[in-house]
Amino acid sequence: MTDGSRPDRDNRPPELLDIVPKIVPPLDPGFRPPVLAWKAYREEVRAFRQAVPARIALERENELTAVFELSVFPDDLHKEATCRLVERTVKFLLWSRGGWKIVFQGPRPAAEVLMQAYAPGGPRAFDIGLMTRVYGLPFEVRAAGSADFPNEKSSPFDIGGHTDGCRIGFDLGASDYKIAAVRDGKAVFSEEIPWNPGEQSDPAYHEAHIRSGLKRAAAALPRVDAVGGSAAGIYIDSRPRVASLFRSVGEADFDKKIRPMFHNIRRDLNVPLVVANDGEVTALAGRMALGETGVLGCAMGSSLAGGYVDPGGRLTGWLNELAFAPVDLNPGAPSDEWSGDRGVGVNYFSQLAVDRLARRAGLVFPPDMRLPERLVRVQEMAQTGGEQADLVFSTIGVYLGYTLPYYREFYDFRNLLLLGRVMSGKGGEIILARARDILAAEFPETNRIIRLHLLDDKTRRIGQAVAAASLPRISRNADGKGDGR
């Protein structure tokens, strides 16, 4: 089987990494959490007492560089396990930090695996293409010695949290477009507007819907001082570089009409307007709602969006595209429709996961029923105590419980904020309860450190839009009026 129900017998993971969790997801007995594999591997390395370092550096814009270090076996011991773990770690770092260049210092076999994976036409060709589009530079992988290995270089920054004045916030999702009018930090109007952007190739459809929503929110305010937006994808200077919402728009129309769209709206409204990745806005919403720092935000909706506020209360500028970050080492795990890679987050923490698991639980949907409608159907069943729905959300909860300690390998967080439609209603409560069960049973130290937060349904639905409204800073003239920039 290759649907993630159990390991592929002809392509099992290395024995050292094939760790069955104590609590098995009820609908996915083949699930193999990376955190357990790393634990087993590290114990073997410590017992061996001849570990060698493996260092990974990823360079992104403005020479900003993230560095990650591991202890691994030398070249000739547990080679397959080492190569697998290093490759999966690089994959996670690439999608959490971002970068156009990978520099590796470590065992030669692992370096060769990375070179092959990230070669043109190799297994990670999707990653290469997307990172090239994001950073505008040819993708590069190279091996390095200690003398020419790059140093860490970061530039965290503050953004958002501004609540003064009359603001509009929006959150562009795959099935609905949420809009909020906010006055001095209080939402005075909100609406969820159904739309279907992923299947629309005409840029005019997207712009017309966005402008219409802004107009409806503006009607609830005496004036508009600023606009902030949250949207899935990669945004630089409020310009979409890569965004699944606009995946049906042709490349030429995307570059000509979609990329400058928010700048054009800013010009027409003559107020500050900022659009950010929905993951970053999720983390910002957590910081505002909780009044704390060290927040990892996960929005489980049409995809999985991640955002991170560091312990200093700042954003890092990392990519945080957790939808593509690996969370399952089972070689028979479900594959992502975009990248073709197996075991990545979008198939475990989104409406795609709900659909996959619901069908495995025996639920049957009409062929023309869209994923958001299927999610609602399963959530309605959960509200009435349906056993099949309970299995779906319990499975996602087990996934989450085993994934959070792995996320802590890459993020220094003490608060996890869960948002998105998948976390709504009884289903969200089941997910949260099961995740807490896993943490208490398998990871008591992590359980003492992190707190899991699930906001009320209304805040989960429109919290992104309200937080997005706080993104722009309003510059005011001596008369107290905004300067329109």
pTM of the model: 0.85
| Residues 303, 270 share a domain | no
Q: Which of 31-40, 418-427, 435-444 has the weakest average pLDDT?
A: 418-427
Flag whether pLDDT at 483 surpasses 80.
no
Flag whether pLDDT at 477 surpasses 70.
no
Residue 157 counted as domain residue: no
Domain boundary residue among 280, 298, 313? Answer: 280
b/e for 406-441, b at 16 or more Cβ within 10 A? Answer: bbbebbebebbbbbbbbbbbbbbebbbebbbbbbee
pLDDT tens readout for residues 23-63: 999 999 999 999 999 999 999 999 988 899 999 999 998 89
Flag whether pLDDT at 430 surpasses 70.
yes
Flag whether pLDDT at 451 surpasses 50.
yes
**CA distances for 361 relative to 14, 164, 356, angstroms:** 29, 48, 9
* pLDDT band per the 50, 70, 90 thresholds, residue 346: very high
Percent of the chain at pLDDT exceeding 70: 94
Residue 1 counted as domain residue: no
Beta strands in 2-96 (DSSP E): 52-59, 65-72
| Residues 302, 272 share a domain | no
Handedness of CA 174, 237, 68, 444 (dihedral sign): negative
Residue 34 counted as domain residue: no
> Under DSSP, is residue 27 helix (H, G, I), strand (E, B) or coil?
coil
**CA distances for 460 relative to 133, 140, 176, angstroms:** 32, 39, 14
The more confidently predicted of residues 457 and 108 is 108
CA distance 430 to 104: 41
| Residues 172, 106 share a domain | no
Determine the length of the chain: 485
| Residues 299, 250 share a domain | no
| Residues 462, 315 share a domain | yes
Q: Render 398-465 in DSSP notation, one character per residue.
A: HHHHHHHHHHTTT---SEEEEESGGGSHHHHHHHHHHHHHHHHHH-HHHHHH-EEEE--HHHHHHHHH
Q: Which two tokens stand for residue 149?
A: 């290995």
| Residues 273, 290 share a domain | no
CATH code of the domain containing 186: 3.30.420.40
For residue 183, give the H/E element and its range. Answer: strand 176-183
Say what the pLDDT of residue 217 is. 97
* pLDDT band per the 50, 70, 90 thresholds, residue 476: low
Flag whether pLDDT at 458 surpasses 80.
no
| Residues 241, 176 share a domain | yes
Q: What type of residue sits at position 367?
A: P
Distance of CA 248 to the CA centre of its chain: 21
Say what the pLDDT of residue 139 is. 97
* pLDDT band per the 50, 70, 90 thresholds, residue 461: low
The more confidently predicted of residues 215 and 12 is 215
| Residues 115, 179 share a domain | no
The more confidently predicted of residues 65 and 314 is 65
In the predicted model, what is the mean pLDDT of the chain? 90
Closest CA to 94 of 54, 134, 121: 134
The number of folded domains in the chain is 3
Flag whether pLDDT at 387 surpasses 60.
yes
Domain boundary residue among 280, 296, 315? Answer: 280
Say what the pLDDT of residue 303 is. 87
Say what the pLDDT of residue 165 is. 96
Residue 84 counted as domain residue: yes
| Residues 439, 319 share a domain | yes
- Per the structure, the complete domain to which residue 452 belongs is given by 286-466
What integer is the mean pLDDT of 365-376?
Answer: 94
Flag whether pLDDT at 10 surpasses 90.
no
Domain boundary residue among 245, 280, 315? Answer: 280
Flag whether pLDDT at 318 surpasses 50.
yes
CA distance 168 to 187: 9
Residue 425 counted as domain residue: yes
| Residues 432, 318 share a domain | yes
